[in-house]
A = this chain, B = another copy of it.
């Protein structure tokens, strides 16, 4: 399910965090290295979620609707990947098997724990953090003492 949509959204948001002028989708697409139309599909979801604002017409473009420091990545993830990291059941288990019968709910609980753990980890980072890290040249990568 993951599929780059989240990555693209984060990239676009970090781009918009640079300054508040408002960028057209063509410009953003140039940096993300994708196509403007597809990017707009992602941006439309971000706009619907209230992260960004779109101004139509000549001179229009996209701009952040909230401060970059006020957009935790967990919210972006939730918006872009509502199903969570673990696909529950592409095929339902056999209900006639005693284990299979209770398996769906048992796995759903596991999936919920996993999603919660992932979102808590993402909640500690904001769009501003990613934007700052992207600009900070990682010439020396001695930052990763924390495993």
Measured CB to CB, the residues of A under 8 A from B are 1-4, 6-7, 10-11, 14-15, 18, 30-34, 73, 77, 85-94, 97-103, 105-107, 109-110, 113-114, 116-122, 124-125, 130-131, 133-138, 141, 143-144
Residue of B with least CB distance to A124: B113
A9 to chain B, nearest CB (A): 11
Q: Which of B2, B130, B137 contacts A107 (CB under 8 A)? A: B130
Asked if residues A11 and B118 are in contact (CB atoms below 8 Å), the reply is no
> Within the complex, what minimum Cβ distance (angstroms) separates A141 from chain B?
8
Per assembly, the copies of the chain total 2
A113 and B138 contact, Cβ closer than 8 Å, known pairs A33-B100, A100-B32, A118-B85: no
Residues of B within 8 A of A31 (CB): 93-94, 97, 99-100, 103
Q: Is the interface of A mostly helix, strand, loop or mixed?
A: helix
A134 to B1, Cβ gap below 8 A?
no
Q: Is the CB of A114 within 8 A of B118?
A: yes
Chain B residue numbers with a CB within 8 Å of A121 are 113-114, 116-118
CB distance from A56 to the nearest CB of B (A): 24
Please tell me if the beta carbons of A92 and B125 are within 8 angstroms of each other in the complex.
no
Contact at A93–B32, with CB atoms within 8 Å? Answer: yes
A137 to B113, CA, bound (A): 19
